[in-house]
Structure 1
Amino acid sequence: MTTTKPTGIGKLFVAVCLIEGLTWTGLLIGMFLKYTTETTDLGVRFFGPVHGGAFMVYVVVTVLAALRLRWPWWATLIALVAAVPPLVTIPLEIWFKKRGMLTEAPAVR
Structure 2
Amino acid sequence: MRDALEGWGLRACADDAALVAGELASNAVCHGRAAARNAGHARLGLACQDGTLVCAVSDLSPEVPVLRPADEFLERGRGMRIIDALSSSWGWSRPTRRGKTVWAVIPVLRP
Q: TM-score range by the shorter chain?
A: 0.3 to 0.5
| TM-score w.r.t. length of structure 2 | 0.35
Which structure: greater helix fraction?
1
More strand by share: 2
Higher relative contact order (CA 8 A, sep 6+): 1
What TM-score, normalized to structure 1?
A: 0.36
Q: Which has the larger radius of gyration?
A: 1
